[in-house]
Structure 1
């Protein structure tokens, strides 16, 4: 749970959260439990957002999209970090990224729930702020963990978002 506590510090903009990540292979493997903990939040977000699923098992499609995206991002980000000269920092990045995703999904889900009880404009503002925060958090974690400049951190965030949209669309979400 040290990873989640470190991610909690990072979520508050405190770079000290990186001290919770040692980048060991064991830590990286354990950090993928964050994906298992994040999936129910991801699935709830899809249901609340009103994703229209014509299949009888919508969770299967969501699970495939979620899992494939998570794994492909891990593989592509490792390659991207290596090519750009930051590969030595990738294990710490992956651990911090995994745990910070759990926080991102929790924030996004928390932002959608009040939307059912407030006017549309307020719902849109809360959603926009939550998405902006989630993007900022991923950017901040990338900068802190990889030690990359801000514009390069943006490229990692764009890769993650683009992969998510592409794979979800490909699977038929």
Structure 2
């Protein structure tokens, strides 16, 4: 399990990436062991993700029962977390970025922790405010997370803005399709009065 020193270092690096600190990638070891270890961030983020799912399911209805929702959402969480690293491995192989793969994937994994903390606070605030302000907060959060991904990609890979944007699309579009498939499978629709 990750220790307090690793968590502090990962958080420092993730926030440094958001600030575009060129030294931030140094917080993530460029080894396969560190990369694999960074996937344990999934465990740290899981309670935050569950909080977001509980908030979400208060404003939607689903035809699936609670057990199916929990099972399918848990599977989506794992698949969604692993999908981009798998896709990116092939991109890295073709672009000769395999030497940078461990550090980049580690950085993206660690970015999820502070990003989810911000997301929980933002979504809670958005649910307490009038609908228009809530949607503005959600839109702002999405913009922040896209920007965080872009600067992480630029800083950790040394990629140009257009390449970083293409990688953002490779990250976001499959995740969006996965969400649509899960929602359709679970029969998710906006709750009446939501």
Q: Could you tell me the TM-score, scaled by structure 1's length?
A: 0.90
Deviation at 1:72? 2.1
Distance of 2:22 and 2:134 partners within structure 1 = 31
2:66 is paired with a residue whose SS is coil
Q: How many residues align?
A: 173
The structure showing larger relative contact order (alpha-carbon pairs under 8 Å, at least 6 residues apart) is 2
- Computed over aligned residues only, the root mean square deviation of the Cα atoms, in angstroms, reads 1.7
2:20 is paired with a residue whose SS is coil
Q: Could you tell me the TM-score, scaled by structure 2's length?
A: 0.81
Unaligned runs of 5+ in 1: none
Distance of 1:92 and 1:22 partners within structure 2 = 6
Deviations 1:70-127 (A, max 9, x none): 2221111111122123222111100000000122222222111112322222211111
Q: Which of 85, 102, 123 is 1:91 aligned to?
A: 102
Partner of 2:39: 32
Partner of 2:91: 80
Alignment check: 8 A CA contact 1:82 1:88 kept? no
Structure showing greater radius of gyration is 2
Pairs within 5 Å for 1:1-173: 1=6, 2-49=9-56, 50-53=59-62, 54-57=64-67, 58-171=69-182, 172=185
Unaligned runs of 5+ in 2: 1-5, 187-194
